[in-house]
Structure 1
């Protein structure tokens, strides 16, 4: 089972978003039969079996084993992944495009960048799985608390300068056989654990948050 499955087809996305099928996928993190799932959900086995066949047809669940019980063969299934993410490729006609409005101080531009990240990395994961090879990626995730908006703006400027310096040092336009890598660095307010995400005045000021994007990044091999 994969840790994260990428849904790239619109039909599969539609299937996965059905409330009953979404619950089935969650339960199928562990192997189950239609009978055991029906008992857990309080639904007729025939109805559960119908949904399972639909999920299986779209590659979202997979057969683990078949058990013979008298004159009946019980099929035991498991989700193809522990969790799923829907790629913007599934909504290609309306997928966000960062090039349409490249305002680097816009939260919506950051969202478009994030959507493209999901789309591109999802496609890389799918291709790498078929080829039986790892994907070369690297990511950092952390939290910094700023005392003031001025400190946050200064941090963003220093970060931009540091990234630009690294890119300038390692980018080699003349490297034969080299491969371009995308670099994305973003800063945004953290969500509060209590679910209250009201924006304070400092966080809402134009120019406080900065997103830096370039077309290259150092390659770090990580499966």
Structure 2
């Protein structure tokens, strides 16, 4: 499950939050605040966090307020501890993705150089995917409707560059055939869908 943060917050931790607000993106990229977000995958207070990150409680509180103001953390409980009320906080998501919308004036545009063999073009397409899916999630959430999506993720090992090129050609042909089979421009109640198919070298897991 995914949700978008544009200011404010909603209840319940999500798997992924898509950030499109530039100010929220800036807050999330601060190293200390990013560490606090990671620690708050489990609920915690400023006091408990201070011990984990080695900072004074007052400074942790300062950073928590900045994160809370942009909907990146939320209070889930308030406990009485001595003469003070202790606020128990939790991150609003297990992980975060910054949408290209946060850098609207310089976000990549796939239409500028549509070369399907270009790594730069692949990045532009991927950036558009993050931006568009984030916007779709927001609309579906507001309308209280499910968002229909589909993705395939896998790996293939090519024996040679020639095999890779042949694979790409066959894949393009198969996708084109499916599009020709199912595309119905005359369908008045139909809805357009974008198709993204990508092939790139795998990265080794460093963990």
Offset from partner CA, 1:40-62 (integer Å, 9 cap, x none): 11111110001000100000011
Equivalence map 1:45-124=2 (5 Å)? 45-124=57-136
Partner Cα separation in structure 2 for residue 78 and residue 129 of structure 1? 21
Alpha-carbon distance, 1:192 to partner: 3.0
1:144-188 alpha-carbon deviations (Å, 9 max, x no partner):
111111111111111101000111111110111211000011111
* CA distance, structure 1, for counterparts of residue 55 and residue 146 of structure 2: 41
Name 1:32's counterpart in structure 2. 44
After TM superposition, the runs of 4+ consecutive aligned structure 1 residues lying more than 4 A away are none
- The residue number in structure 1 matching 2:171 is 159
Please report how far the alpha carbon of residue 128 of structure 1 lies from its aligned counterpart in structure 2 after TM superposition: 2.0
Deviation at 1:193, TM superposition (A): 3.7
Alpha-carbon distance in structure 1 between the residues aligned to 2:101 and 2:38: 23
Determine the structure 2 residue equivalent to 1:206: none
SS at match of 2:64: helix
Residue aligning to 2:139:
127
Distance 1:177 1:54 in 2: 45
- Please tell me the root mean square deviation across aligned C-alpha atoms, in Å: 1.2
SS in structure 2 of the partner of residue 184 of structure 1: coil
What TM-score results when the alignment is normalised by the length of structure 1?
0.85
- Per the alignment, residue 183 of structure 2 pairs with 171
Looking at structure 1, the residues matched to 143 and 52 of structure 2 have their Cα atoms a distance apart, in angstroms, of 38
Q: TM-score, normalised by structure 2?
A: 0.91
Whole-Å separation in 1 of the counterparts to 2:29 and 2:103: 13
> In the aligned structure 1, how far is the partner of 2:160 from the partner of 2:206?
23
Aligned twin of 1:142: 154
- Flag structure 1 segments of 5+ consecutive residues without an equivalent: 196-223
Length, aligned pairs only: 195
Give the secondary structure class of the aligned counterpart of 2:15: strand
Q: Deviations over 1:20-43 (max 9, x none)?
A: 000000001000111110111111
